[in-house]
Structure 1
């Protein structure tokens, strides 16, 4: 089973209702879990510590983030990164010793998405650097409870200006979902994804061949999201606890 984090397991620094107990119930049932997040502002250690403070213990190997996928991609392709990411995430890329070729890596840079930084990334692309997007989400639920622009808008701006299409490493890339399942004894057709993003989490998982993808009415969900993207969710449920009930009810039939 694959679980999104922001909007499903927690909102800001607050766990969603019953999240810790629900995750423990899934573990007690013997279901293998992977937490798949498109968060590109926080380093892995901070995410794991944040979950632990909520009473949710997650091992390092259970958490898959676009930054981890990007580091692996850069090493495999022998590239030096030109980073357009949040300052808190830069340490994730320390120690990379690539060759002469470069790759522009774009994540949620927050206030770093200014003209000067975007133009530097654009010029790197014109000079032949590879183009790597950690995610292409349209929006995220911000600390004030409202939706804010996410990475996708800025990736699209660079794509438009440079005429280059990025390699997308986070959701909804099929490889991201499949890599999360790679070390689990679970075929994709038997896997379930739970998310609050109808496009990235749900439609992305179903396109990757997962057997089911459940959309929760928490986090960034807005009424009507379930009809806006194809494929549509396998089911629309209230929250993580309700998604778990849906899964257990199917397992018992």
Structure 2
């Protein structure tokens, strides 16, 4: 029994990385549009994640959602039969909190009400920094004008994400945070620091969480710009685009760098990674 336990222990994330320096050592997965679509799992996604884990590949779930707290994402995945630890889910809100603390700033929040509690626990100090995300129906002129006035008074500007669109719960595309980021940049002349994808630091932080170098990792996403081109620009070895979620025909030709390969779904992506990693 002890021999079996020792053999299994070899497959922890650090040991796998150390013993396979030239191989694919880690996989980053987007959530919405890759693992699930709305409230429903995408067929084969849970089994695909299990296959990655069985192969000894550590996984991190890198989501650009700015509406849902990390704890809720963990619970949502559990409800789909996918068990993950808190540290395996990387979100822009977590990255923003780390930035605010490191740079001694206090957040002025322009985010969805569900995300506000994420910022309640940490102790902040220093001058303001506007933190902008997708506020959904809570966004109105007053919220944006309040952020505008803070920026005009000298606040820093953090964009939790800069995506153009997302696939909404009704299956249709909706405006994402990028449009509001652009509006405030235009009005104030202040350039936002993007915290989530496609910021290289976001991908690298997820990989540092696994002690993995970018060139030894792969990304799987449904957004050719933020997920795929962003990951490749950050130095990742491989980025796969799936034809689920927000994908639209021709997306693979619209942004540079282009995807390593385009596949039908996460199950097909894992097939490709295990065969070519």
* SS across alignment from 1:176: helix
**Structure 2 counterpart of 1:111:** 137
Q: TM-score under structure 2 normalisation?
A: 0.89
> For 1:183 and 1:170, how far apart are their aligned partners in 2?
15
**Structure 2 counterpart of 1:215:** 241
Deviates more, 1:131-140 or 1:108-117: 108-117
> For 1:66 and 1:98, how far apart are their aligned partners in 2?
17
> For 1:69 and 1:173, how far apart are their aligned partners in 2?
11
After TM superposition, give the deviation of residue 185 of structure 1 in Å: 4.0
Q: TM-score under structure 1 normalisation?
A: 0.97
> For 1:222 and 1:66, how far apart are their aligned partners in 2?
25
C-alpha contact (below 8 Å) 1:84/1:112 kept by paired residues? no
What is the count of residue pairs matched by the alignment? 251
> For 2:257 and 2:156, how far apart are their aligned partners in 1?
30
After TM superposition, give the deviation of residue 18 of structure 1 in Å: 0.7
Q: 2:207 aligns with which of 159, 171, 181?
A: 181
Structure 1: gaps spanning 5 or more residues: none
Question: Counterparts of 1:101-250 in structure 2 under 5 Å?
Answer: 101-250=127-276
After TM superposition, give the deviation of residue 76 of structure 1 in Å: 0.8
* SS across alignment from 1:132: strand
**Structure 2 counterpart of 1:74:** 100
> For 1:96 and 1:58, how far apart are their aligned partners in 2?
23
* SS across alignment from 2:248: coil
> For 2:203 and 2:124, how far apart are their aligned partners in 1?
26
After TM superposition, the runs of 4+ consecutive aligned structure 1 residues lying more than 6 A away are none
> For 1:99 and 1:250, how far apart are their aligned partners in 2?
48
After TM superposition, give the deviation of residue 39 of structure 1 in Å: 0.5
> For 1:201 and 1:158, how far apart are their aligned partners in 2?
24
RMSD of aligned Cα (Å): 0.9
> For 2:49 and 2:177, how far apart are their aligned partners in 1?
29
After TM superposition, give the deviation of residue 216 of structure 1 in Å: 0.1
Higher-Rg structure is 2
After TM superposition, give the deviation of residue 117 of structure 1 in Å: 0.8
After TM superposition, give the deviation of residue 13 of structure 1 in Å: 0.9
